[in-house]
Amino acid sequence: MEDYTPTLSEEERAARRAQRAEARRQKQQARRRRQLQQLLPVCLVLVLLVGLLAAWAFQRQPEDSGTDDTVSPAPVNQMTEEPETETIAFQPRETESTIQLGDDFASEYAVVIDAEDGSILAEKNADAVISPASMTKILTLLVAAEHIENLDDTVTITIDITDYCYVNDCSVVGFALDEVVPVRELLYGTILPSGADAALALAKYVAGSQEAFVALMNEKLEELGLSDTAHFTNCVGLYDEAHACTVTDMALILKAAMENDLCREVLSAHTYETAPTTQHPDGQVLSNWFLRRIEDKDQELPVRAVAAKTGYVVQSGNCAASYAESADGHGFLCVTGNAYSAWRAIYDHVELYKLCS
């Protein structure tokens, strides 16, 4: 049997072509709709990002974005605030008049500074690093004074304090084991007789230990701008390679102490009498050796020695730091090191203060 294939007219073929074309068109439209639906979220995100970027750019524009040449007004705070003035720290400085001391001046290290303007009147190896010996106690006094709130508090002298002083052959006030001492007396005891027992008791009272107190001392040196050349390892002035400063550093430490009312009072005292205790029923009379022995020289000087602290270790010889004032209250700082005797240290200060006239 032969296969039968119907024959379509031209009109029927045209109609079928039209149907197939319409079907293809509908499929294309459906595919575009699906693509648009997939792209819509992406477009929304892009629009949002563009809006955020535009807002950020607008906020960064200056208030006046015009094209004219007018200057935008300064912010109100810039118009009303006073310009800041930089505080200039007291800084010793040489001048054309600075005297360079020679070998005929006994102390190996020396400096005398005008305490008002910082000009150096005379110097000798003033920037050499030395052991400050008991001049250290000026900083001990200053740090303690800045931390003490009640001068009537008491401290008990313990075995670790007396042993430390004995083992290291320190100068002492002479407080006895278990003696109860007011903080005020410890301040005077640290300076006038250069008592290591008083200094150690202060350190224990203020910071709990000498080590913790020395950390406070070095913080103070940094505050004073002296930490490049000054660093202390104990509060009494024992020799240590790492315990050192220059005579100029010590002059600035003394200046800071003299600006503290309590320190000035202690450093200026010629004598002080402690209260009676069980161990010392009559109390003790403390003396500032330097001030009492320079008194007979006051008439020779254009200034009056107001405050002082001496020191001695083998490595730095006899040294001293003092503060003097002229009749009108003009101050002078003087520090010397490595004199061959305690009396020579005093006489060197006398010679230096004569330069103030």
Of residues 53 and 127, the one with the higher pLDDT is: 127
Q: Distance between CA 160 and CA 212 in Å, rounded?
A: 15
Domains and CATH numbers, the chain: 99-354 (3.40.710.10)
pLDDT at 206 over 50: yes
Q: How far apart are CA 155 and CA 297, in angstroms?
A: 38
**Which residues are known catalytic residues?**
134, 137, 194
- Is pLDDT of 126 > 80? yes
For the whole model, what pTM was predicted?
0.76
User: What does the pLDDT read at residue 90?
Assistant: 82
Report the percent of the chain where pLDDT is more than 70.
Answer: 76
**Coil vs helix vs strand at 214:** helix
For 64-119, the pLDDT digits (tens) are 444 444 444 444 444 445 444 444 568 899 999 999 999 999 999 999 999 999 99
Between residues 346 and 71, the one the model is more confident about = 346
142 band by pLDDT with thresholds 50, 70 and 90: very high
The partner residues of 130 in beta bridges, in order of sequence, read 245
Name the token pair of 107.
Answer: 């102390």
- Give CA separation, 37 vs 34, 40, 135, in Å: 5, 5, 88
Query: Which pLDDT score, from 0 to 100, does residue 50 have?
Result: 72
- What percent helix, strand, coil does the chain show, rounded to 5? 45, 15, 40
Over 60: is that where the pLDDT of 263 sits?
yes
* DSSP string covering 82-127: PPP-PPPPP--B--TT-EE--TTSSSSEEEEEETTT-BEEEEESTT
Instruction: For the chain, give the percent of residues with pLDDT over 90.
Output: 69
